Amino acid sequence: MAWPDDGPWSASIGATTDYVYRGISQTYDHGALQLGANYQSSVGWFAGAWGSNVDPYPRGQSALELDLYTGFRQPLSDDFNAGFTYTHYLYLDDPRPDHYDYDQFELSASYLDRLVASISYQPDLTQYSRLGFAERRPSVCYELAGRWQLPMGFALEAGGGYYNLHSLFGVGYWAGNAGVHYVYRRISLDLSRFVADSTATRLYDGASANGTWVLSALVRF
């Protein structure tokens, strides 16, 4: 969810070799096409939508993830910002018999947009894992991400988090990524390597993105 730099409206179209979210592949090591649109007001609030194809089952029928979000960002000083985002995750044309739609409430704090810390709460998460099926249970995620700007449009990026699924499966897991980001005008490229601990593999087996390299391209309008 990018912040537009040259007007209240922005849109994007992107492609990635693997859609990885919180250390877990949403497409089982297959590519994804992703679209987004965002409105940013002059007083700090924003709203938008973002979508991607997903594969709920390996080698099975695909579905569409649609994220509808709104929130605000408020400067605390010249260097620090705070924000709140509400997101509703929808899964359209989903072949799974149960409903996996859920909500997320996220609080974040950033330093010069170089370092961002966030905590998010999902009150009604439904998931299936190798440890069983959990329906509409709460979970909490703690995440930290950073960027180090380099010359000629390059930047180093890294992030990670802890994902507390104790209410769902009695465990939590760690995951993260690091890579290189490049921007040329309205085009950006990312090459990242993802890692996840053994609990992620225990939960999601082949969907764990541990050791996965991902190349992504994005065009903003």
- What integer pLDDT is reported at residue 6 of this predicted model? 60
Cα maximum dimension of the chain: 50
Q: What is the pLDDT of residue 70?
A: 98
Which DSSP string corresponds to 60-117? S--EEEEEEEEEEEEE-SSSEEEEEEEEEEEEET--SSS---EEEEEEEEEETTTEEE
Dihedral angle at the C-alpha atoms of 176, 129, 34, 149, nearest 10 degrees? 0
Q: Compute the distance between CA of residue 139 and CA of residue 160 in angstroms, rounded to an integer.
A: 17
pLDDT at residue 4, as a whole number: 40
Strands 20-21 and 45-54: unpaired
Q: Are 53 and 64 in contact (CB under 8 A)?
A: yes
Say if residues 171 and 203 touch (Cβ distance below 8 Å): yes
Give the pLDDT confidence score for residue 2 in this predicted structure: 40
Residue recorded with tokens 């890692």: 195
Per-residue pLDDT of the chain (221 residues; tens, 9 = 90+): 444 456 799 999 999 999 999 999 999 999 999 999 999 999 999 999 999 999 988 767 899 999 999 999 999 999 999 999 999 999 999 988 899 999 999 999 999 989 999 999 999 999 999 999 999 999 999 999 999 999 999 999 999 999 999 999 999 999 999 999 999 999 999 999 999 999 999 999 999 999 999 999 999 99
Calculate ∠ Cα 68-40-182, nearest 5°. 90
Domain ranges of the chain: 9-220
Candidates 3.40.50.150, 3.40.50.2300, 2.40.160.40, 3.30.2130.10; CATH matching 9-220: 2.40.160.40
CB-count exposure of residue 197 (10 Å: 0-12, 13-18, 19+) = middle
